[in-house]
Amino acid sequence: MHPIILFIGFFFFAVAYNLIGPLATNIMQTTGLTLTESGSLVSFQQIGALLSMIASLVLMKKLKQSTVAKIGYLFLILALTGIAFSTGNIALFIFYLVLGLGTFLIDSGSNAALAGDYYEKRSLYIPLLHFCYSAGAIATGYLILPFKGSDWPWAYAMIGIILLAILLVGTVEQKLRRKRDAETKMNLEESSPEMIQAGPILPILKDKPFIIYTAVIMLYMGSQVVCAAWIPVYVEIELVQPAAITATSLTVFWVGTAISRLIAGPLMNKGEKPFNLSIYGMVLAGLSLVMATLSSHIYAVLFFVMLCGFFAGATIPMYIVITSTWYPRNTAFISLSYILAGTIGRMIFPWLVTVIGSFTSLGFALLISSGLFFISAVLILLVKRLVADRPSF
């Protein structure tokens, strides 16, 4: 699939993934779900992703990475349509599980396709792909404003229709490109095999730095969903802010993340050390989240939320670039590893925040969650010392 199609699709994939944050209060009001139960929706989504990982071990050995991504979009479209027209809470949980099935295949397939098919441009394309995710997440808070309240299901329906159109365009473009390149056999997707395990996996599984670095992704992805899903709820319920400010609280987080991912590639190309950027970034992100929860003025809260997103935002693309440098023949397995770790983090930590918030306050729970960033900084420092003799980029 053409990189531009992957980038556009990833933008709206991000919108679909982040709908729960700004619409959580509306979903709770119309369905009667509690805060903890609404947090379980996110957990069901991650359970779906875990199930999808099992299937992907077969799919990625037999299908091209772009095809895996397209299957993911089909699941996502089905889930969005189902959520939009579901009539009960049980159906809502089932379709969120289906949403998880789709999101993993899209995420893994898109990353592996770019890191493998466009290896020489991975330091540009991977951060740009995740920049598109951030841009989509930024737009989410404002795209859903017309659907706040009882009309929230139509937000899901709208994104489902848009993704269906993108999938159709991408499929037609791919067929036309294959037909055009059939005579010369120059199409990369036609001429190179796409296997999830082009290289041996056992050395990776025994690689202590790789395992520790992947654990960092678990912590970061958990903290990312905590911020994206629960900061808007915190702003709306505990800080008693209107819908526009609630949407802005999600937007500023992703603005910071997007800027970070946009500049990550150029910084690495200019010789900046990715491990140093990550260590300092994690520490500053944790401090920013602490300040956001301790600030009483809403504009100060928004400022520190933006800084939190900025300082930690490039964690995922730097992980993929670094680990694919270590293991260039295992880009699909690297994508699987990062998403597996991220899924575990997204399934556990956002739920723990709701549990802590139910007994104390959501603001206090967010304050405690800043520890995820500090722990990540320590782990990255350990990885840096363990791989001092390896190239990081």
- pLDDT digit string (tens) for 310-342? 999 889 888 988 898 888 877 778 878 888 898
What pLDDT sits at residue 282?
Answer: 96
Q: Which of 210, 137, 260, 255 is nearest to 382 (CA)?
A: 210
Residue 250 has pLDDT above 90, yes or no: no
Q: Give the C-alpha separation, 155 to 141, whole Å.
A: 11
- pLDDT digit string (tens) for 44-88? 887 887 787 777 666 666 667 677 888 889 999 999 999 988 878
Q: Give the C-alpha separation, 297 to 184, whole Å.
A: 63
What pLDDT sits at residue 190?
Answer: 45
Cβ atoms of 253 and 227 closer than 8 Å: yes
Q: Sign of torsion, CA 88 90 93 94?
A: negative
What pLDDT sits at residue 60?
Answer: 61
- Both structure tokens of 14: 């991000």
Cβ atoms of 264 and 318 closer than 8 Å: yes
Q: In the 8-state DSSP scheme, what is residue 146?
A: G
pTM above 0.85, yes or no: no
Residue 361 has pLDDT above 60, yes or no: yes
Q: Give the C-alpha separation, 270 to 292, whole Å.
A: 32
What pLDDT sits at residue 19?
Answer: 85
Q: Which of 212, 65, 44, 209 is nearest to 125 (CA)?
A: 65
Q: Which of 207, 232, 190, 229 is nearest to 334 (CA)?
A: 207
Q: Which of 125, 117, 259, 213 is nearest to 174 (CA)?
A: 117
**Per-residue H/E/C for 106-119:** HHHHHHHHHHHHCH
- Answer whether CATH 3.30.70.260 is correct for domain 3-386: no
Q: Give the C-alpha separation, 227 to 331, whole Å.
A: 28
What pLDDT sits at residue 184?
Answer: 56
Tell me the CA end-to-end span of the chain in Å, nearest whole number. Answer: 26
What pLDDT sits at residue 386?
Answer: 93
The total of other beta-carbon atoms located within 10 Å of residue 384's CB is: 18
C-alpha separations of 370 from 210, 224, 361 in Å? 24, 11, 15
What pLDDT sits at residue 233?
Answer: 87
What pLDDT sits at residue 53?
Answer: 76
- pLDDT digit string (tens) for 99-132? 988 887 888 788 877 776 676 676 678 888 888 9
